[in-house]
Amino acid sequence: MSEFAFFRFLSYNLLTEEEKENKEEIINLTEEVLDAKGLECDSRISKLSREEIEEILKEVRKKREKKKKTKDNQEIESDSVEQVTIYK
């Protein structure tokens, strides 16, 4: 289902090159967004307008950015712990 949505993103040229390269991540996040919206089958996704597809992608990007920020913060915290340990 979300792979079909990914191809809808592609067909409208909505994805960045970096998003195209991270297809699996985009598909997984799209699955989360579609589940939250109650969209469960390709036939329903195929009937969505371009605006609705863009809105789904917007939500996917928000989730992706949030995950990146969380990952970056964890790395910073990890680096801080390592530095504290080194300086003791």
The whole domain housing 19 covers 2-87
- pLDDT of res. 9: 95
Enter the pTM of the model: 0.75
Q: What is the DSSP string of 24-88?
A: HHHHHHHHHHHHHHT--SHHHHHT--HHHHHHHHHHHHHHHHHHHHHHHHHHHHHHHHHHHHHH-
Question: Higher pLDDT residue, 31 or 79?
Answer: 31
Question: How many domains does the chain fold into?
Answer: 1
Q: For residue range 54-87, what is the model confidence (pLDDT) as tens digits? A: 999 999 999 999 998 887 777 777 666 555 555 5
